[in-house]
A and B are shown apart, each in its own frame.
Chain A
Amino acid sequence: MPTVPGFAVEINHVSYTYPAWGVDGATTPALEDVNFTIDEETKLGILGPNGGGKSTLIKLILGIIKPTAGSVRVFGYSPIEARERGLIGYLPQRIEADRDWPINVEQVVGLGRACRIKPWKKLGADDHAAIAKAIELVGLEDLASRPIGALSGGQLQRVMIARAIAGNPKLLVLDEPTVGVDIAGQQRFGKLIETLHRELDLTVILVSHDMRAIAAVADRVACLSRTLHFHDTPDGLTPAVLAQVFAHDVAGVFGDIHIDAHLAETCDDPSHAHQHQHDCGCSENEGDA
């Protein structure tokens, strides 16, 4: 049963350490004492360096892994309950679906909804209406019956967004959705998410290492590098905070934002600064284990 109404996600003092026999045998926690809440119908951007625990946080919210310490609630439910109730829509970073499949846009969008329908029942009028609306919201109504093999990468991503919203979720989780997309593309993506947010009263979580991708979508920002450093509106995100999150990596990530690397040391005690440097050095694959 829902505990505290009004919060889409509650992360209560969550830590997570990957098992020692994992990818590289490392036992440093991927997340340490992360503690924050996400209000319903906000668009939260979670900014952090590669290896900072973003993917781990997503897996915890989706209930794919359980926290080593602390607890996660999604609309008051455990994450597994929440996703079984269809409250969560999810757009993965890499689209791994096979393009050679004999399946069209409408069928792909329907998958997420159909898999919850009893086997002896057919898709009803409300299902077809929800699928059609999802396709319309992402602007693919002209391509509804086209095989997915005939779509561009951007169109396929919109199909996957439509699939995520076709089940009427209340929370939409986007994992690095605009990697390798130019600024104009990020702006268009931001507009699309804003439309979905307005039309469907969605709470949106967008995770990225790219400040511009976050700025295009989010109205609130949290910074994550093993632990949560900041949780506020984007205006309050000062270079000092960014430097703390990204340690010495800042200049590399934000080529056009000038930040003095010394700030990193003034914001943080030396041992911590060293930790961040270590975290930032990890490969991106760390979080995908």
Chain B
Amino acid sequence: MNEIAPAIIAALVIALMGGALSIFVVLKRLAFIGQGISHAAFGGVGIALLLGVHGATTAGAMGQLAIVVAFSIFAALGIAALSRTNQGRTDTAIGVVLSASMALGFVLFTFVESKHDHDEHGHAAQGHEDQHHLIEEILFGNILDTTWPKASIAIAVAIAILVVVWFIRRQLIFWAFDEPVVDAYGLHSKRITYIFLILLAIAVVMAMQIAGVVLAAAMLVLPGAGALNLSAKLRAVFVYSILIAVGGAAIGMLVGFEAGLPIGPTIVLIQSVAYLLTLIAKAVSARLRS
């Protein structure tokens, strides 16, 4: 139990962060940007590998995390800049950054691997298998090898994000609700946009620790999307979102550990089921009222 304690706590705190942020992601229609950022992170892992920084040691893991976070922020701001020069076509900008980063990631993985093969002829087959395992971990997450140092960083960062969001909550809500007018009210819409995209990029990388590249963005969308089906009151929506996020993570881990399933995908599946249930609840309550 002690061995998986850091993983469990990290997963719950990251889920809590995802629950809070997902409201803004869903209401501001940024779900697809989240996808773009998480896939861009794969390119970041490739760059870390190229630089010889990998997660075998604690220091290596920290270095890798720093590089991936930097690359994800770069990708998020790149998406914003590209969509501005592209007459606001955010979907195109995301498509470009997502594909380019995935391609870059795979090219770098293969390049580093082939260099590796050259260095150690005898272990080529073994290296190949490791590589595939590593790619799978990055794509779908592996919290089981979360140690206390890794978990502490994820927890601290997630809490820091929550504190920043709480501090600027009123500006964030105004911005997400009605961005075109906030400048007239003395706020700076561009500044708020950049701050939120940076927070989102960091949050996506933290969620990746649990759910991997492919599923990270789901943890930043599903709870909020579900909560919005349950209430038309802002405060209640926040509470429901956090319940779905943390509850989904807890149940996902229980089921995953019991049945020996991969933890990240199980959490995302449970949150997806919760989302479906909220849809049904919404439909039923609409019928009861009419």
A119 nearest in chain B by CB position: B167
CB of A119 within 8 A of CB of B186, answer no
Note all chain B residues with C-beta closer than 8 A to A257: none
CB of B237 within 8 A of CB of A84, answer no
Q: Does B178 contact A (CB under 8 A)?
A: yes
Q: Does B286 contact A (CB under 8 A)?
A: no
Q: Does A179 contact B (CB under 8 A)?
A: no
Note all chain B residues with C-beta closer than 8 A to A112: 174, 185
CB of A102 within 8 A of CB of B231, answer yes
CB of A107 within 8 A of CB of B234, answer yes
Q: Does B168 contact A (CB under 8 A)?
A: yes
Note all chain A residues with C-beta closer than 8 A to B186: 83-86, 115-116
What's the Cα separation between A173 and B232 when bound, in Å?
31
What range describes how many residues of B lie at the interface?
20 to 34
* Complex partner residue of B170 from A63, A100, A102, A119, CB under 8 angstroms: A119
CB of B232 within 8 A of CB of A119, answer no
What's the Cα separation between A114 and B167 when bound, in Å?
12
Q: Does A177 contact B (CB under 8 A)?
A: no
Interface residue count on the A side (C-beta < 8 Å): 32
Q: Does B111 contact A (CB under 8 A)?
A: no
Q: Does B228 contact A (CB under 8 A)?
A: yes
Interface residues of B in 219-240 (CB under 8 A from A): 228, 231-234, 236-237
Q: Does B91 contact A (CB under 8 A)?
A: no
Interface residues of A in 123-152 (CB under 8 A from B): 147, 149
Q: Does B184 contact A (CB under 8 A)?
A: yes
Q: Does A14 contact B (CB under 8 A)?
A: no
What's the Cα separation between A83 and B186 when bound, in Å?
5
* Complex partner residue of B237 from A96, A97, A102, A149, CB under 8 angstroms: A102
Note all chain A residues with C-beta closer than 8 A to B168: 119
Interface residues of B in 60-77 (CB under 8 A from A): none
CB of B167 within 8 A of CB of A111, answer no
CB of A111 within 8 A of CB of B237, answer no
Note all chain A residues with C-beta closer than 8 A to B185: 83, 86, 90, 111-112, 115-116, 167
Q: List 28 interface pairs A-B (beta carbons < 8 Å), by A numbering.
A: A64-B184, A86-B185, A90-B185, A92-B180, A96-B178, A96-B179, A97-B177, A101-B177, A102-B231, A102-B232, A102-B234, A102-B236, A104-B233, A107-B234, A108-B177, A111-B170, A111-B173, A111-B174, A115-B171, A115-B182, A115-B185, A115-B187, A116-B185, A116-B186, A119-B166, A119-B170, A167-B185, A173-B184
Q: Which residues in B have some Cβ–Cβ distance to A below 8 Å?
A: 27, 166-171, 173-174, 177-187, 228, 231-234, 236-237
Q: Which residues in A have some Cβ–Cβ distance to B below 8 Å?
A: 62-64, 83-86, 88-90, 92, 96-98, 100-104, 107-108, 111-112, 114-117, 119, 147, 149, 167, 173
